[in-house]
A = this chain, B = another copy of it.
Amino acid sequence: MLNFDFYNPTKLVFGKNTVKRIGKEISSNGYTSVLLVAGGGSIKENGVYDIVVNSLKNNGIKFKEVWGVRANPVISKVNEIIEVAKDFKADCLLAVGGGSVIDSVKAASAGIFVDNVWNLFEMRKPVTKGLPIFTVLTLSATGSEMNCYSVVTNEAEKKKWNIAGTPLHPVVSIVDPTVQFSLPWHQTLNGSLDALSHIMELYFANDTSITTLAVNESLSKTVIEMTDILQKNEKNYNARANLAWAATLALNGISGAGQGGGDWASHGIEHGISAVYPDIAHGAGLGVVFPAWIEYCYDANPSLFERWSKNIWNGASVKEGIENFKSKIKSWNGAVTLRELGVEKNKLDEIADTVMLAGVQGKVKKLKKEDIKNILQLAY
Protein backbone atom coordinates (compact mmCIF):
# COMPACT_ATOMS: atom_id res chain seq x y z
CA MET A 1 0.00 0.00 0.00
CA LEU A 2 1.50 3.31 -1.06
CA ASN A 3 1.70 6.29 1.30
CA PHE A 4 -1.05 8.88 0.94
CA ASP A 5 -2.54 12.00 2.50
CA PHE A 6 -6.32 12.09 2.72
CA TYR A 7 -7.89 15.51 3.18
CA ASN A 8 -11.40 16.36 2.06
CA PRO A 9 -13.03 19.18 4.02
CA THR A 10 -16.16 19.44 1.85
CA LYS A 11 -19.41 19.08 3.79
CA LEU A 12 -21.79 16.93 1.75
CA VAL A 13 -25.50 17.37 2.44
CA PHE A 14 -27.22 14.34 0.94
CA GLY A 15 -30.84 13.33 0.47
CA LYS A 16 -34.43 14.25 -0.27
CA ASN A 17 -35.53 17.89 0.08
CA THR A 18 -32.07 19.15 0.92
CA VAL A 19 -31.71 21.80 -1.84
CA LYS A 20 -33.61 24.29 0.29
CA ARG A 21 -30.78 24.21 2.85
CA ILE A 22 -28.37 26.03 0.52
CA GLY A 23 -29.11 29.57 1.78
CA LYS A 24 -28.59 28.61 5.41
CA GLU A 25 -25.37 26.77 4.60
CA ILE A 26 -24.00 29.84 2.83
CA SER A 27 -25.09 32.36 5.44
CA SER A 28 -23.92 30.26 8.39
CA ASN A 29 -20.46 30.31 6.81
CA GLY A 30 -20.61 34.10 6.87
CA TYR A 31 -21.18 34.88 3.18
CA THR A 32 -23.75 37.38 1.95
CA SER A 33 -23.11 38.01 -1.75
CA VAL A 34 -23.28 35.09 -4.16
CA LEU A 35 -22.70 34.63 -7.87
CA LEU A 36 -25.02 31.82 -9.00
CA VAL A 37 -23.70 29.95 -12.05
CA ALA A 38 -25.83 27.57 -14.11
CA GLY A 39 -26.09 25.75 -17.43
CA GLY A 40 -28.77 25.76 -20.08
CA GLY A 41 -31.94 26.10 -18.06
CA SER A 42 -32.95 22.57 -16.96
CA ILE A 43 -32.92 23.79 -13.36
CA LYS A 44 -35.81 26.11 -14.22
CA GLU A 45 -37.79 23.14 -15.54
CA ASN A 46 -37.19 20.79 -12.61
CA GLY A 47 -37.85 23.40 -9.92
CA VAL A 48 -34.33 23.50 -8.49
CA TYR A 49 -33.78 27.13 -9.50
CA ASP A 50 -36.85 28.36 -7.61
CA ILE A 51 -35.91 26.46 -4.47
CA VAL A 52 -32.34 27.83 -4.56
CA VAL A 53 -33.44 31.42 -5.16
CA ASN A 54 -36.04 31.30 -2.39
CA SER A 55 -33.49 29.84 -0.02
CA LEU A 56 -30.99 32.61 -0.84
CA LYS A 57 -33.66 35.29 -0.36
CA ASN A 58 -34.91 33.77 2.89
CA ASN A 59 -31.39 33.95 4.27
CA GLY A 60 -30.80 37.55 3.21
CA ILE A 61 -28.20 36.69 0.57
CA LYS A 62 -27.69 39.00 -2.41
CA PHE A 63 -27.09 37.21 -5.68
CA LYS A 64 -26.47 37.66 -9.36
CA GLU A 65 -26.62 35.01 -12.08
CA VAL A 66 -24.46 33.78 -14.96
CA TRP A 67 -26.09 31.25 -17.31
CA GLY A 68 -24.97 29.18 -20.25
CA VAL A 69 -22.17 26.88 -19.06
CA ARG A 70 -22.08 24.03 -21.59
CA ALA A 71 -20.93 20.41 -21.41
CA ASN A 72 -17.14 20.20 -21.89
CA PRO A 73 -16.97 23.69 -20.38
CA VAL A 74 -14.77 26.34 -21.95
CA ILE A 75 -12.31 28.90 -20.64
CA SER A 76 -14.10 31.82 -22.33
CA LYS A 77 -17.12 31.16 -20.11
CA VAL A 78 -14.86 30.91 -17.07
CA ASN A 79 -13.50 34.37 -17.92
CA GLU A 80 -17.05 35.70 -18.11
CA ILE A 81 -17.82 34.26 -14.66
CA ILE A 82 -14.65 35.87 -13.28
CA GLU A 83 -15.57 39.30 -14.68
CA VAL A 84 -19.12 39.21 -13.35
CA ALA A 85 -18.00 37.94 -9.95
CA LYS A 86 -15.46 40.77 -9.63
CA ASP A 87 -17.93 43.38 -10.79
CA PHE A 88 -20.60 42.09 -8.38
CA LYS A 89 -18.04 41.79 -5.57
CA ALA A 90 -19.26 38.26 -4.86
CA ASP A 91 -17.85 36.81 -1.64
CA CYS A 92 -18.54 33.25 -2.79
CA LEU A 93 -19.63 31.28 -5.84
CA LEU A 94 -22.58 28.91 -6.15
CA ALA A 95 -22.65 26.28 -8.89
CA VAL A 96 -26.12 24.87 -9.59
CA GLY A 97 -25.70 22.10 -12.13
CA GLY A 98 -23.55 19.14 -13.08
CA GLY A 99 -19.79 18.70 -13.29
CA SER A 100 -19.36 21.25 -16.07
CA VAL A 101 -20.96 24.02 -14.04
CA ILE A 102 -19.02 23.06 -10.94
CA ASP A 103 -15.71 22.83 -12.80
CA SER A 104 -16.30 26.25 -14.41
CA VAL A 105 -16.99 27.74 -11.00
CA LYS A 106 -13.85 26.13 -9.57
CA ALA A 107 -11.73 27.58 -12.36
CA ALA A 108 -13.31 30.99 -11.81
CA SER A 109 -12.74 30.69 -8.05
CA ALA A 110 -9.00 30.39 -8.66
CA GLY A 111 -9.01 32.73 -11.65
CA ILE A 112 -10.37 35.68 -9.70
CA PHE A 113 -6.98 35.99 -7.98
CA VAL A 114 -4.74 35.89 -11.07
CA ASP A 115 -4.33 37.88 -14.28
CA ASN A 116 -4.88 35.01 -16.70
CA VAL A 117 -6.72 31.93 -15.46
CA TRP A 118 -5.49 29.69 -18.27
CA ASN A 119 -1.93 30.20 -17.02
CA LEU A 120 -2.94 28.15 -13.96
CA PHE A 121 -3.76 25.23 -16.27
CA GLU A 122 -0.47 25.62 -18.14
CA MET A 123 1.62 25.84 -14.95
CA ARG A 124 0.35 22.55 -13.46
CA LYS A 125 1.00 23.76 -9.93
CA PRO A 126 -1.55 23.33 -7.11
CA VAL A 127 -4.01 26.20 -6.78
CA THR A 128 -3.38 27.99 -3.47
CA LYS A 129 -6.12 30.63 -3.41
CA GLY A 130 -9.77 30.60 -4.38
CA LEU A 131 -13.11 32.25 -3.66
CA PRO A 132 -15.24 29.87 -1.52
CA ILE A 133 -17.40 27.50 -3.55
CA PHE A 134 -20.85 26.06 -2.84
CA THR A 135 -22.66 23.63 -5.11
CA VAL A 136 -26.09 22.14 -5.72
CA LEU A 137 -25.53 19.04 -7.84
CA THR A 138 -27.99 18.09 -10.59
CA LEU A 139 -26.13 15.23 -12.29
CA SER A 140 -24.04 12.56 -10.55
CA ALA A 141 -21.02 11.84 -12.71
CA THR A 142 -17.80 13.76 -12.27
CA GLY A 143 -17.53 13.68 -8.48
CA SER A 144 -16.60 17.36 -8.69
CA GLU A 145 -19.04 18.12 -5.85
CA MET A 146 -16.58 16.59 -3.37
CA ASN A 147 -13.09 17.02 -4.77
CA CYS A 148 -10.65 19.76 -5.68
CA TYR A 149 -10.31 19.13 -9.44
CA SER A 150 -11.53 21.21 -12.37
CA VAL A 151 -11.32 20.27 -16.07
CA VAL A 152 -11.85 23.03 -18.64
CA THR A 153 -11.24 23.31 -22.39
CA ASN A 154 -9.26 26.08 -24.02
CA GLU A 155 -11.22 26.04 -27.26
CA ALA A 156 -8.67 28.10 -29.22
CA GLU A 157 -5.81 25.76 -28.37
CA LYS A 158 -7.91 22.57 -28.25
CA LYS A 159 -6.53 21.77 -24.79
CA LYS A 160 -8.88 20.09 -22.29
CA TRP A 161 -6.75 20.32 -19.15
CA ASN A 162 -7.16 20.41 -15.38
CA ILE A 163 -6.23 22.30 -12.24
CA ALA A 164 -6.42 21.19 -8.61
CA GLY A 165 -5.84 22.56 -5.13
CA THR A 166 -7.21 22.62 -1.61
CA PRO A 167 -9.20 25.88 -2.01
CA LEU A 168 -11.17 24.23 -4.83
CA HIS A 169 -12.91 21.83 -2.45
CA PRO A 170 -16.50 23.10 -2.23
CA VAL A 171 -17.30 24.32 1.27
CA VAL A 172 -20.72 22.67 1.08
CA SER A 173 -22.26 20.56 -1.67
CA ILE A 174 -25.90 19.55 -1.72
CA VAL A 175 -26.86 16.30 -3.45
CA ASP A 176 -30.62 15.69 -3.68
CA PRO A 177 -31.09 12.55 -5.80
CA THR A 178 -34.74 13.39 -6.57
CA VAL A 179 -33.46 16.31 -8.69
CA GLN A 180 -32.12 13.67 -11.10
CA PHE A 181 -35.48 11.96 -11.71
CA SER A 182 -35.99 14.06 -14.84
CA LEU A 183 -32.62 13.40 -16.49
CA PRO A 184 -32.66 11.98 -20.02
CA TRP A 185 -31.40 8.37 -20.01
CA HIS A 186 -28.21 9.17 -21.91
CA GLN A 187 -27.16 11.63 -19.21
CA THR A 188 -27.75 9.09 -16.44
CA LEU A 189 -25.78 6.55 -18.48
CA ASN A 190 -22.90 8.91 -19.20
CA GLY A 191 -22.75 9.75 -15.50
CA SER A 192 -22.47 6.07 -14.61
CA LEU A 193 -19.74 5.53 -17.22
CA ASP A 194 -17.85 8.53 -15.85
CA ALA A 195 -18.06 7.19 -12.29
CA LEU A 196 -16.97 3.69 -13.39
CA SER A 197 -14.06 5.26 -15.26
CA HIS A 198 -12.87 7.24 -12.25
CA ILE A 199 -12.80 4.04 -10.23
CA MET A 200 -10.86 2.24 -12.99
CA GLU A 201 -8.31 5.04 -13.37
CA LEU A 202 -7.47 4.55 -9.70
CA TYR A 203 -7.98 0.78 -9.46
CA PHE A 204 -5.49 -0.25 -12.14
CA ALA A 205 -2.68 1.98 -10.86
CA ASN A 206 -1.56 -0.23 -7.96
CA ASP A 207 -2.29 -3.70 -6.61
CA THR A 208 -1.19 -3.48 -2.97
CA SER A 209 -4.03 -1.45 -1.46
CA ILE A 210 -6.35 -4.39 -0.84
CA THR A 211 -8.79 -2.23 1.13
CA THR A 212 -9.10 0.25 -1.72
CA LEU A 213 -9.39 -2.43 -4.40
CA ALA A 214 -12.17 -4.15 -2.45
CA VAL A 215 -14.02 -0.89 -1.84
CA ASN A 216 -13.67 0.04 -5.52
CA GLU A 217 -15.09 -3.31 -6.61
CA SER A 218 -18.09 -2.70 -4.35
CA LEU A 219 -18.57 0.79 -5.76
CA SER A 220 -18.31 -0.49 -9.35
CA LYS A 221 -20.84 -3.25 -8.79
CA THR A 222 -23.20 -0.82 -7.10
CA VAL A 223 -22.95 1.65 -10.01
CA ILE A 224 -23.74 -1.17 -12.48
CA GLU A 225 -26.62 -2.52 -10.40
CA MET A 226 -28.20 0.91 -9.86
CA THR A 227 -27.83 1.85 -13.53
CA ASP A 228 -29.66 -1.35 -14.47
CA ILE A 229 -32.51 -0.40 -12.14
CA LEU A 230 -32.70 3.18 -13.45
CA GLN A 231 -32.85 1.96 -17.05
CA LYS A 232 -36.17 0.36 -16.12
CA ASN A 233 -37.41 3.05 -13.73
CA GLU A 234 -35.80 6.47 -13.83
CA LYS A 235 -37.65 7.57 -10.69
CA ASN A 236 -36.45 4.79 -8.38
CA TYR A 237 -35.25 6.91 -5.47
CA ASN A 238 -33.06 4.33 -3.85
CA ALA A 239 -31.24 3.59 -7.11
CA ARG A 240 -30.75 7.32 -7.79
CA ALA A 241 -29.46 7.85 -4.25
CA ASN A 242 -27.06 4.91 -4.17
CA LEU A 243 -25.75 5.75 -7.64
CA ALA A 244 -25.26 9.37 -6.57
CA TRP A 245 -23.30 8.46 -3.44
CA ALA A 246 -21.22 5.87 -5.29
CA ALA A 247 -20.37 8.48 -7.95
CA THR A 248 -19.26 10.91 -5.24
CA LEU A 249 -17.10 8.24 -3.57
CA ALA A 250 -15.62 7.36 -6.97
CA LEU A 251 -13.53 10.52 -6.92
CA ASN A 252 -13.45 12.03 -3.44
CA GLY A 253 -10.20 10.43 -2.28
CA ILE A 254 -11.62 7.18 -0.88
CA SER A 255 -11.30 5.28 -4.16
CA GLY A 256 -7.73 6.52 -4.58
CA ALA A 257 -6.30 5.85 -1.10
CA GLY A 258 -2.89 4.22 -1.53
CA GLN A 259 -3.22 4.12 -5.33
CA GLY A 260 -0.46 6.65 -6.01
CA GLY A 261 -2.63 9.12 -7.90
CA GLY A 262 -4.06 6.76 -10.53
CA ASP A 263 -3.39 6.19 -14.22
CA TRP A 264 -5.58 8.74 -16.06
CA ALA A 265 -4.47 7.85 -19.61
CA SER A 266 -8.04 7.00 -20.65
CA HIS A 267 -9.15 10.41 -19.41
CA GLY A 268 -6.28 12.00 -21.30
CA ILE A 269 -7.36 10.24 -24.49
CA GLU A 270 -11.01 11.16 -23.98
CA HIS A 271 -10.00 14.78 -23.36
CA GLY A 272 -8.26 14.72 -26.74
CA ILE A 273 -11.39 13.33 -28.39
CA SER A 274 -13.75 15.88 -26.90
CA ALA A 275 -11.31 18.73 -27.51
CA VAL A 276 -11.60 17.86 -31.23
CA TYR A 277 -15.30 16.88 -31.01
CA PRO A 278 -16.79 19.12 -28.30
CA ASP A 279 -20.24 17.55 -28.68
CA ILE A 280 -19.10 14.13 -27.53
CA ALA A 281 -20.09 13.70 -23.89
CA HIS A 282 -17.22 12.93 -21.52
CA GLY A 283 -18.80 9.77 -20.08
CA ALA A 284 -19.74 8.44 -23.52
CA GLY A 285 -16.16 8.94 -24.74
CA LEU A 286 -14.77 7.15 -21.69
CA GLY A 287 -17.12 4.21 -22.25
CA VAL A 288 -15.53 3.73 -25.66
CA VAL A 289 -11.91 4.43 -24.71
CA PHE A 290 -11.61 2.40 -21.51
CA PRO A 291 -12.23 -1.11 -22.89
CA ALA A 292 -9.67 -0.40 -25.62
CA TRP A 293 -7.17 0.94 -23.08
CA ILE A 294 -7.60 -2.21 -20.95
CA GLU A 295 -7.05 -4.43 -23.98
CA TYR A 296 -3.88 -2.49 -24.82
CA CYS A 297 -2.46 -2.34 -21.29
CA TYR A 298 -3.49 -5.38 -19.30
CA ASP A 299 -0.32 -7.36 -19.97
CA ALA A 300 1.46 -4.82 -17.73
CA ASN A 301 -0.19 -6.40 -14.66
CA PRO A 302 -2.26 -9.43 -15.70
CA SER A 303 -3.26 -10.55 -12.19
CA LEU A 304 -4.74 -7.16 -11.27
CA PHE A 305 -6.74 -6.95 -14.51
CA GLU A 306 -7.88 -10.56 -13.98
CA ARG A 307 -9.05 -9.61 -10.49
CA TRP A 308 -11.03 -6.72 -11.98
CA SER A 309 -12.54 -8.98 -14.63
CA LYS A 310 -13.51 -11.68 -12.15
CA ASN A 311 -14.74 -9.57 -9.25
CA ILE A 312 -16.70 -6.97 -11.20
CA TRP A 313 -17.62 -8.55 -14.54
CA ASN A 314 -17.67 -12.24 -13.67
CA GLY A 315 -15.12 -12.82 -16.41
CA ALA A 316 -12.90 -15.91 -16.54
CA SER A 317 -10.22 -13.88 -18.35
CA VAL A 318 -9.44 -10.23 -18.94
CA LYS A 319 -10.79 -10.55 -22.50
CA GLU A 320 -14.05 -11.92 -21.14
CA GLY A 321 -14.24 -9.08 -18.61
CA ILE A 322 -13.79 -6.56 -21.40
CA GLU A 323 -16.49 -8.27 -23.48
CA ASN A 324 -18.91 -8.33 -20.53
CA PHE A 325 -18.17 -4.65 -19.88
CA LYS A 326 -18.90 -3.76 -23.51
CA SER A 327 -22.02 -5.96 -23.58
CA LYS A 328 -23.30 -4.11 -20.52
CA ILE A 329 -22.73 -0.73 -22.20
CA LYS A 330 -24.59 -2.01 -25.29
CA SER A 331 -27.46 -3.24 -23.10
CA TRP A 332 -27.61 0.32 -21.74
CA ASN A 333 -27.85 1.61 -25.35
CA GLY A 334 -24.42 3.17 -25.08
CA ALA A 335 -21.73 3.41 -27.74
CA VAL A 336 -18.77 1.00 -27.71
CA THR A 337 -16.93 2.38 -30.78
CA LEU A 338 -15.61 5.80 -31.76
CA ARG A 339 -17.46 5.34 -35.07
CA GLU A 340 -20.80 5.28 -33.21
CA LEU A 341 -19.81 8.55 -31.51
CA GLY A 342 -19.36 10.18 -34.94
CA VAL A 343 -15.56 10.34 -34.92
CA GLU A 344 -14.10 10.32 -38.45
CA LYS A 345 -11.31 7.85 -39.07
CA ASN A 346 -9.07 10.48 -40.66
CA LYS A 347 -9.20 12.50 -37.42
CA LEU A 348 -7.47 9.89 -35.25
CA ASP A 349 -4.05 11.36 -35.93
CA GLU A 350 -5.21 14.85 -34.98
CA ILE A 351 -6.80 13.46 -31.81
CA ALA A 352 -3.54 11.69 -30.89
CA ASP A 353 -1.64 14.95 -31.45
CA THR A 354 -4.15 16.77 -29.26
CA VAL A 355 -3.73 14.19 -26.50
CA MET A 356 0.06 14.53 -26.70
CA LEU A 357 -0.12 18.30 -26.06
CA ALA A 358 -0.39 17.24 -22.40
CA GLY A 359 2.64 14.96 -22.68
CA VAL A 360 3.15 11.21 -22.20
CA GLN A 361 0.00 9.62 -20.78
CA GLY A 362 -0.58 7.10 -18.05
CA LYS A 363 1.25 5.11 -15.41
CA VAL A 364 0.31 1.45 -16.01
CA LYS A 365 1.98 1.97 -19.38
CA LYS A 366 3.66 5.20 -20.42
CA LEU A 367 1.78 5.97 -23.63
CA LYS A 368 3.33 7.97 -26.49
CA LYS A 369 1.65 9.12 -29.68
CA GLU A 370 1.96 5.73 -31.39
CA ASP A 371 0.33 4.02 -28.39
CA ILE A 372 -2.50 6.56 -28.34
CA LYS A 373 -3.14 5.91 -32.02
CA ASN A 374 -3.15 2.16 -31.43
CA ILE A 375 -5.73 2.54 -28.65
CA LEU A 376 -7.86 4.84 -30.82
CA GLN A 377 -7.72 2.21 -33.61
CA LEU A 378 -8.80 -0.48 -31.13
CA ALA A 379 -11.68 1.76 -30.06
CA TYR A 380 -12.73 2.66 -33.58
Tell me how many chains of this kind the complex includes.
Answer: 2
Residues in B whose Cβ lies below 8 Å from that of A212 = 245
Q: Which residues of B contact A211 (CB under 8 A)?
A: 218-219, 222, 242, 245-246, 249
Set of chain B residues within 8 Å of A7, measured between Cβ atoms: 9-12
Do residues B219 and A215 form an inter-chain contact, with CB atoms below 8 A? yes
Kindly state the separation between the CA atoms of A16 and B258 in the bound complex, as whole angstroms: 12
Contacts of A249 in B (CB 8 A): 211, 215, 254
Indicate with 1 or 0, residue by residue over A137-163, a CB within 8 angstroms of chain B CB atoms: 000000000000000000000000000
Say whether A242 contacts B11, CB under 8 Å: no
Contact A258 B14 (CB under 8 A): yes
Check A14–B3 contact: CB distance below 8 A. Answer: yes
What count of chain A residues pass the 8 Å CB interface test? 42
A1 part of interface (Cβ distance < 8 Å): yes
Contact A14 B257 (CB under 8 A): yes
- Does A8 sit at the interface, judged by CB under 8 A? yes
Are A8 and B8 touching (Cβ within 8 A)?
yes
**A175 to B309, alpha carbons, bound, how many Å?**
32
CB distance from A238 to the nearest CB of B (A): 5
Complex CA distance for A218 and B246, rounded to whole angstroms? 14
The chain B residue sitting closest to A25, CB to CB, is B5
> Given that A6-B12, A14-B257 are contacting pairs, would A218 and B214 also be in contact in the complex, using a CB cutoff of 8 Å?
yes
Pick 28 A–B contacts, CB within 8 A, sort by A. Answer: A1-B15, A1-B242, A2-B15, A3-B15, A3-B16, A6-B11, A6-B12, A7-B9, A7-B10, A7-B11, A9-B9, A14-B258, A15-B258, A209-B241, A209-B242, A209-B245, A210-B242, A211-B222, A214-B218, A214-B219, A214-B221, A214-B222, A215-B215, A215-B218, A215-B249, A217-B218, A218-B218, A241-B258
